[in-house]
A = this chain, B = another copy of it.
Amino acid sequence: MDKVRLIAAPLSLYCCRVEMALRFKAIEYEYIHEDVADKSPMLLELNPVHKKIPVLLHNGVPINESLLILEYLDETWKENPLLPKDPCERAQARFWANYADEKGEDKEKAIATAVESLAFIEELIKGKKFFGGESIGYMDLALGWIPLWTSVMEEVGDMKILDEETFPFLHEWAQSFIQVPLVKSSMPPREEFFNYVRSTAKYLRSLAAKKL
């Protein structure tokens, strides 16, 4: 009997991505709440390099990095595959997942770059319900942070990012995606996430002000 545990926190969209994958594959798991403001000795031991959540523990063996956890889950539990079968499509899915994550890391700093990267992704979703086709897959989960994150950033920053007119297909995907039951149940509550982003933004602004 496999024992799966996930060290995570509810406001991390990286963790959320893994939770969705676990639910997508109907894998039972135990949720271990991590306090990122005061990291546990367990986390530091299991991910000594990045000291970051999420960490998946499978029969005691730790797997780090959310996208690598998706690959691991897909290789270990074959049912409900996340990645496409075709190696070329797999390469593309990985490429865009990495690309969006890299761009996303500068999120707070550069909305402009985020919008530019959305333009590429808009092309990929054109004419499809999900990136995975008729149902969700690896790329949907990998890009799953976009709907909630953009919607909250739009409100915090009083601006438009995932504009319906500029990105009609991505906008439609976002609507379909957040309706999927397992997605809905994995995403953090909007209000909590909103407060978290707002306080982070305030903190960053105060840092920037000090530098000036």
Contacts and interface: CB of A to CB of B under 8 A. Distances in A.
Interface of A: 49, 58, 61, 63-65, 68-69, 71-72, 75-76, 87-88, 90-91, 94-95, 98-99, 120
Contacts of A87: 72, 75-76
B99 A49 contact: yes
A71 B94 contact: yes
A94 B68 contact: yes
Given A49-B120, A63-B88, A120-B49, A95 B72 contact: no
A95 B75 contact: no
A69 B61 CA distance: 27
A58 B90 CA distance: 14
Contacts of A75: 87, 90
Given A65-B98, A98-B65, A71 B91 contact: yes
Contacts of A49: 99, 120
Nearest to A98: B65
A90 B71 contact: yes
20 contacts: A49-B99, A49-B120, A58-B88, A61-B88, A63-B88, A63-B91, A64-B91, A64-B95, A65-B94, A65-B98, A68-B94, A68-B95, A69-B91, A71-B90, A72-B87, A72-B88, A72-B90, A75-B87, A75-B90, A76-B87
